[in-house]
């Protein structure tokens, strides 16, 4: 799109302090690249990065943030800059722009767009951010799967860490001499931008042969744990006998059942309604596939085989029947929040419940509610000053089904305890990470990863040892007079390997007639990595870089240099030959108008060019 940024104020603005955000929904959910095609301040002076939202709305789950480096200089009052840019998924999948917050389908010329927000020194300066609308859900769907495969078949469990959280997995599938482990997860388990996976293998070493994240159960699909008939692999043996029962994870209104099998197979599927088994009617028969129709609520299906072929897969289509306890969502305060003692007595806890007929109790106190919203005054909850207080919200519906949600709040600010290191992801190649700070008085205790830290004149300092990869360092402060305790966490990534840099495109010694070519590849290192292609900064996104560079006639040497956050460097080179002169054909025989009595004729001639050439005669390659 084409944008214009105007300084309507009375003072000069340093563009390096300005950010712009285009808010949208990333329907492809695939790696993306942004390209600045032209800018009046110089396209190399504009930066772009994609940021995923932790709290999404119906019209935004991500934004493209544009920034400026110091070479963009300043924007004087009344002046403007313009830029033309675009972004796309790396496989050019389609976006659905109609539901994007910042998209304006009627903007055929420059039009004010308050949904395209502008920030000055990290503060919203112009426009309006998308509003996070409260949502009630029965739990986040685990539609994504982390799948890891290892060479060899083993029943041994596997321990992994995902963003510092330890997870134990058991084998999910054995296929072609490989063991597959699968972990379902939801979006709230991931961090924005970078995520960290550590694989822990006990005993013998094992070879990792594959690692990927899939959307296997996207679109409302629910996995059914019922052996090979529901593993989503049509050609794998299932070992099923003449009859197999499938237990559904919840009550379903079954509308259709599709059964796949080898030639000659036939089945009689039945659904259980109460104590009775009901046969389903076949509505379509195809080679290797039978489709049955039905409209019954059930939690159990039985498949009886009667044909000569093997049954490979059963697919159940329908919709879940809601029969669940009420779900609550606390809007304020947030978990871990510090409440000011001065004004807390006038504030209320607020939240939402999906079933408005439910009764809400907070720490045993009945809450007031209006429709889906409920509130309760904080002084009624028995909170104690200078302590961590647990708040429990319980919802009970007319059927006496109940659910609850807990959070902890601190009554009284903990600002007198100071930790010097900010709460941000840190990259380093050092063996330790220094933590320091200050406590309000000598009767305080500081612990780092459970170990006491000495305090001298209210100051403390210690070195926390690091392991390769992500380190979650836990710091706790305890006031031994009041008993008040507060815990913090710092995230440090240790990476000691070199910067790794590849040039995947173009290939070395490639010939082209184009005057411009895209240079792209993969780069890894510590923290933010800067990549320069022939002294021009390339766009880097999730470890991939790309930049379009001009070519001159003849040989062009392309040099790619990378430097990471610690100053480590890597360099690669590739040579590309630009040849825009067409090859010259001479001495072509036979000459125009040649007459022959033979059914075949020999074509010959001379070709000259600076590049390797191919000659085709009526579409067939000639020998040179």
Q: Can you give 599-613 as a three-state secondary structure string? A: CCCCCEEEEECCCCC
pLDDT digits (tens, 9 = 90+) for 332-387: 888 877 787 777 778 889 888 878 888 999 999 999 987 788 999 998 998 887 67
Confidence of residue 228 (pLDDT cuts 50, 70, 90): low
Beta bridge partners of 605: none
The CATH architecture assigned to 328-411 reads: Sandwich (2.60)
Percent of the chain, pLDDT > 90? 19
Query: How many other C-beta atoms lie within 10 A of the C-beta of residue 212?
Result: 9
Q: What phi and psi, each to the nearest 5 degrees, are found at residue 375?
A: -140, 155
Q: What is the DSSP letter of 384?
A: -
Determine how many CB atoms are found less than 10 A away from the CB of residue 39: 19
Q: How far is CA 368 from CA 266, 351, 354, 405, in A?
A: 59, 11, 15, 17
1.10.10.10, 1.20.1250.20, 2.60.120.260, 3.10.20.30: CATH of 243-320: 2.60.120.260
pLDDT in tens, 171-226: 887 777 888 898 888 766 777 667 888 898 766 778 888 888 876 544 455 555 55
Q: Does residue 210 contact residue 146 with C-beta atoms inside 8 Å?
A: no
Q: Is the pLDDT of residue 133 over 50?
A: no
Residue 458: CB atoms within 10 A of its CB come to 14
Contact 265, 313 (CB under 8 A): no
Domains 2-126 and 243-320 share a fold: no
Phi and psi for 45 in degrees, rounded to 5? -95, 5
Task: Write a three-state SS string for 563-609.
Answer: ECCCCCEEEEEEEEEECCCCCEEEEEECCCCCCCCCCCCCCEEEEEC
Contact (Cβ atoms closer than 8 angstroms) between residue 53 and residue 193: no
CA distances from 211 to 197, 198, 365, 471 (A): 10, 12, 49, 22
- Which is more confident, 230 or 546? 546
Q: Which residues of 282-316 are buried (b: 16+ CB within 10 A; e: fewer)?
A: beeeeeeebbbebeeebeebebbbeeeeebbbbbb
The answer regarding whether domain 500-578 maps to CATH 3.40.50.300 reads no
Question: Tell me: the pLDDT tens digits for 296-345?
Answer: 788 888 888 887 778 878 888 777 665 677 888 888 888 877 787 777 77
Dihedral of the alpha carbons of 351, 354, 358, 361, in degrees to the nearest 10:
-30
Nearest to 39 by CA among 65, 77, 5: 5
pLDDT in tens, 475-493: 988 888 766 777 788 989 8
E strand or H helix at 323, and its extent? none
Residues 6+ apart with CB under 8 A from 56: 132
Q: Would you state the pLDDT for residue 182? A: 86
Strands 530-533 and 604-608: unpaired
Contacts 24+ apart (CB under 8 A), 362-369: 362/391, 362/392, 362/393, 362/394, 363/391, 363/392, 367/393
Tell me if 15 sits within 8 A of 80, measured CB to CB: no
Please determine, looking at this structure, whether the domain spanning 2-126 carries the CATH number 2.60.40.710.
yes
The pLDDT assigned to 614 comes to: 85
Give Dmax (Cα) for the chain: 114
Domain 418-494 in this protein, CATH class = mainly beta
Beta bridge partners of 208: 150
CB of 148 closer than 8 Å to CB of 180? yes
Q: Model confidence at 136, in pLDDT bands (50, 70, 90)?
A: very low
Q: Minimal CA–CA distance to 453: which of 472, 477, 433?
A: 477
Q: What is d(CA 362, CA 349) in angstroms, rounded to the nearest whole number?
A: 9
The overall pTM is greater than 0.75: no
What is the residue extent of each domain of the chain?
2-126, 144-214, 243-320, 328-411, 418-494, 500-578, 584-621
pLDDT digits (tens, 9 = 90+) for 57-66: 667 878 999 9
For residue 331, the model assigns a pLDDT of 83
Helix, strand or coil for residue 43? helix
How do beta strands 197-200 and 584-589 pair? unpaired
**Structure token digits, residue 183:** 């972990």
């Amino acid at each position: 799109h084409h944008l214009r940024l105007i300084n309507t104020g009375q003072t000069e603005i340093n563009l390096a302090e300005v950010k712009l955000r285009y808010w949208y929904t990333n329907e492809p959910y695939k790696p993306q690249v942004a390209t600045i095609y032209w800018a009046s301040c110089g396209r190399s002076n504009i930066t772009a990065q994609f940021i995923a939202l932790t709290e999404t709305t119906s019209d935004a789950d991500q934004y493209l943030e544009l920034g400026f480096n110091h070479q963009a200089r300043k924007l004087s009052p009344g002046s403007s800059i313009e830029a033309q840019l675009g972004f796309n998924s790396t496989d050019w999948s389609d976006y659905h722009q109609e539901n994007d917050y910042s998209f304006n389908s009627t903007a055929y010329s420059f039009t004010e767009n308050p949904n395209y927000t502008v920030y000055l020194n990290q503060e919203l300066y112009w426009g309006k951010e998308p509003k996070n609308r409260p949502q009630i859900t029965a739990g986040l769907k685990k539609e994504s799967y982390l799948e890891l495969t290892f060479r060899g078949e083993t029943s041994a469990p596997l321990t992994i860490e995902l963003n510092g959280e330890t997870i134990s997995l058991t084998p999910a599938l054995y296929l072609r001499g490989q063991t597959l482990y699968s972990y379902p997860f939801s979006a709230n388990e991931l961090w924005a931008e970078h995520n960290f996976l550590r694989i822990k293998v006990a005993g013998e070493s094992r070879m990792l042969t594959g690692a990927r994240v899939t959307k296997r159960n996207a679109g409302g699909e629910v996995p059914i744990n019922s052996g090979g008939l529901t593993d989503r692999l049509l050609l794998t043996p299932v070992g099923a006998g003449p009859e197999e029962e499938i237990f559904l994870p919840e009550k379903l209104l079954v509308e259709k059942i599709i059964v796949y099998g080898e030639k000659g197979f036939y089945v009689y599927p039945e659904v259980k309604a109460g104590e009775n088994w009901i046969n389903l009617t076949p509505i379509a028969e195809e080679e290797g596939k039978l489709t049955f129709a039905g409209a019954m609520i059930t939690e159990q299906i039985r498949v009886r085989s009667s044909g000569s072929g093997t049954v490979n897969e059963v697919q159940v289509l329908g919709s879940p029947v809601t029969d669940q306890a009420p779900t609550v969502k606390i809007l304020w305060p947030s978990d871990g929040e510090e409440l000011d003692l001065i004004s807390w007595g006038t504030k209320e806890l607020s939240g939402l419940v999906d079933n408005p007929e439910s009764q809400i109790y907070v720490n045993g106190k009945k809450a007031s509610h209006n429709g889906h919203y409920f509130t309760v005054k904080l002084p009624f909850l028995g909170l104690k000053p200078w302590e961590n207080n647990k708040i429990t919200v319980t919802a009970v519906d007319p059927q006496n089904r109940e659910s609850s949600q807990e959070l902890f709040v601190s009554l009284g600010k903990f600002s007198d305890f100071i930790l010097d290191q900010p709460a941000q992801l840190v990259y380093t190649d050092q063996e330790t990470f220094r933590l320091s700070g200050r406590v309000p008085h000598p009767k305080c205790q500081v612990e780092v990863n459970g170990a006491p830290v000495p305090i001298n004149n209210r100051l403390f300092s210690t070195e926390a040892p690091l392991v390769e990869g992500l380190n979650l360092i836990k710091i706790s402060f305890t006031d031994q007079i009041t008993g008040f305790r507060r815990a913090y966490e710092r995230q440090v990534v240790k990476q000691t390997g070199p910067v790794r840099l590849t040039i995947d495109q173009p290939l070395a010694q490639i010939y082209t007639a184009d005057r411009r070519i895209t240079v792209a590849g993969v780069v890894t290192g510590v923290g933010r990595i800067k990549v320069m292609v022939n002294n021009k900064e390339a766009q880097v996104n999730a470890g991939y870089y790309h930049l379009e560079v001009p070519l001159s006639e003849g040989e062009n040497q392309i040099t790619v240099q990378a430097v990471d956050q610690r100053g480590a460097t890597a360099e690669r080179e590739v040579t590309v030959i630009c040849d825009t002169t067409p090859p010259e054909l001479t001495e072509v025989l036979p000459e125009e108008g040649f007459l022959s009595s033979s059914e075949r004729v020999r074509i010959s001639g001379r070709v000259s060019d600076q590049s390797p050439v191919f000659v085709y005669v009526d579409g067939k390659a000639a020998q040179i």
